[in-house]
Amino acid sequence: MKKISGLWLGILIISGVFQHIHPGDIRCMQGKWELSKEKSVNVDKLLEAQGHSWATRKAMVNMSMTQTIRIEGNKVHVFVESTMINKSYILILDGKEREEKSPLGKIFHTRYHLLPDNGFIAYSRDEEGNKSTTYRRCENKGKTMVNKIKLEKKDGKVVSGTRVFIRVP
């Protein structure tokens, strides 16, 4: 099998042979998304590692959720509606560290970066020294949005999970 050079691979990607949106374009995330509990993976273990109680984990794993996303430049506006909580927030993809508060009141220091593959990444750390990386991108020609989360506990334990959202027409 012949190898494709980096230059030709770049040309194929930009021309849309491998994806329908130009690299670095996160507009594919705009719209309304519904959480797929069936396609999401290892969420309970991730929530447990984050320190959530059994009752909170069960409620969060079984809740219905939609996210409506709007993109304005380097700002991602996220509106969350769920059976547990409704909230909105803005993610600024500029690489600058900001203090954030989770829905349950935990303080994080987070940086957001745009990636060249129709996604973005968040690097976070909490006040206890735990670190997490959240990678969000469109897949399946913009029909699916995947959030891959990796938590690195200060004791060295690593737990990963994936939340999958399906576009709502």
The domain locations on the chain are: 25-167
Q: In whole angstroms, give the CA distance from residue 123 to residue 2.
A: 37
Q: Is 47 exposed, middle or buried (0-12, 13-18, 19+ CB in 10 A)?
A: buried
pLDDT digit string, tens, across residues 51-109: 889 998 999 888 999 999 999 988 999 999 998 889 999 999 999 999 998 766 788 89
pLDDT digit string, tens, across residues 1-20: 344 444 433 333 333 333 33
pTM: 0.80
Q: Which CATH superfamily is domain 25-167 in?
A: Calycin beta-barrel core domain (2.40.128.20)
